[in-house]
Structure 1
């Protein structure tokens, strides 16, 4: 079965949205690791006077991580799944947080315009049909010197990392997906990670998209070697009209 993409993937997330928060709560450190990746954007003064884009915000877990890390920033959460966004919007948020329903490829059409001081994309890029185009779009939305943090399942490249991921999927993720009726979505999760870039490959992809000072930062716990934060910066002297 091919990987889910575009509308098919959004539909699968729509169907699974009601159970999503409960399932991810079973993942040790899930929310703490999102907060760690959010803090790695490094905005000063609690984000006062800054705008942050949460690209692929899902049910709002990454949005909450940004709101905790930068309590004074304006945050725009975007997701392609109407069902996931419905769950996100149902939660309590300060007025500085808003949500937009749009695929990552159609931000401008949905009225999402820069400049943003920082962008967080959690568990997004391995699900995109054309990640390179979206990376270039994100770079154009950032202020000169603005940062992108990608929080993503990307295997470190060691055989042990792949074996660990396969074991967790066979022993935990797929059985949970089957029990909840979401096996297709969680089988996609397994395969999307296995078939996505390794850490060196995605770091190189960021560089090709024009990001500077690309760093790959590990995350602790059982996901060491499986989940990473990639941080890159738009060149400080770069300007264009992509707003």
Structure 2
């Protein structure tokens, strides 16, 4: 008998496709992505909540912000709602997801850039930034600590990073809810919308395999973030999706900024 903790027997457990494979899957599902996430109660509201938790002053006036892993622009819109007067650089490695983002209506203070995270400098995306939002990104990086360290280096001293991410490891109720939602809603909906389930089964598996909240917080501290703390979401994603906040220290290698 299949339980919510087990994959459906007709669907083999997906293997980690690697960075290029993940981008290919995002490219293939870009056309239906907005419709699928729009059916998730609280999806856009929770992204906005994470962006606002950066506590950007004066509606972002004079600030330069980075939305890393912007996808089709949902996180960009969240950052814009939190800081409507800021300049925002939105970056994604999926060409098709970014194409869908660019087709939407944006103020001229928002710039979209196609690049993988490990190639930002090649396309001219350099710091310092006054704040960074990384939504559903860290879990997909081949080396989470290296990625967090790279984000730290992009921040202005004293500026903050908001990691908006799934984490259910070590919490049985959260894992049970996640399994049930994936196999009863997310994966079937992905099949209906796109005719394929690889990305959605990867999403299911990657969340189960990802860091616990304590481990991710420790990773952030280990690469140099200070004041690391975590905030929960509301609704069915309570205990499943979190905002992890950290700041680049004002004092670096004996220098006070």
Tell me which residue corresponds to 1:53: 66
**Could you tell me which of 89, 94, 102 is aligned with 1:76?**
89
1:68-100 Cα offsets, whole Å, 9 max, x none, are 110110000000000000000000000000011
**Could you tell me which of 160, 174, 194 is aligned with 2:187?**
174
Q: Structure 2: any 5+ residue segments left out of the alignment?
A: 1-13
**1:207 corresponds to 2:234:** no
Tell me which residue corresponds to 1:237: 251
1:109 alignment partner, SS class: helix
**Could you tell me which of 132, 141, 154 is aligned with 2:167?**
154
Q: Structure 1: any 5+ residue segments left out of the alignment?
A: none
1:42-74 Cα offsets, whole Å, 9 max, x none, are 110011110100000000000000111101100
**Could you tell me which of 200, 212, 221 is aligned with 1:186?**
200
**Could you tell me which of 235, 238, 241 is aligned with 1:221?**
235
1:117 alignment partner, SS class: strand
CA RMSD across the alignment? 1.2
Distance 1:239 1:28, change over 3 A: farther
Name the TM-score, length of structure 2 as normaliser. 0.91
**1:98 corresponds to 2:115:** no
**1:195 corresponds to 2:209:** yes
Tell me which residue corresponds to 2:10: none
Tell me which residue corresponds to 1:6: 19
Number of residue pairs the alignment of both structures matches: 240
2:123 alignment partner, SS class: coil
2:251 alignment partner, SS class: coil
Measured after TM superposition, the shift of residue 239 of structure 1 is 7.2
Please say which of residues 2-11 and 78-87 is displaced more in the overlay. Answer: 2-11
Measured after TM superposition, the shift of residue 177 of structure 1 is 1.6
Measured after TM superposition, the shift of residue 19 of structure 1 is 0.1
- Larger gyration radius, structure 1 or structure 2: 2
Name the TM-score, length of structure 1 as normaliser. 0.96
**1:64 corresponds to 2:77:** yes
Tell me which residue corresponds to 2:37: 24
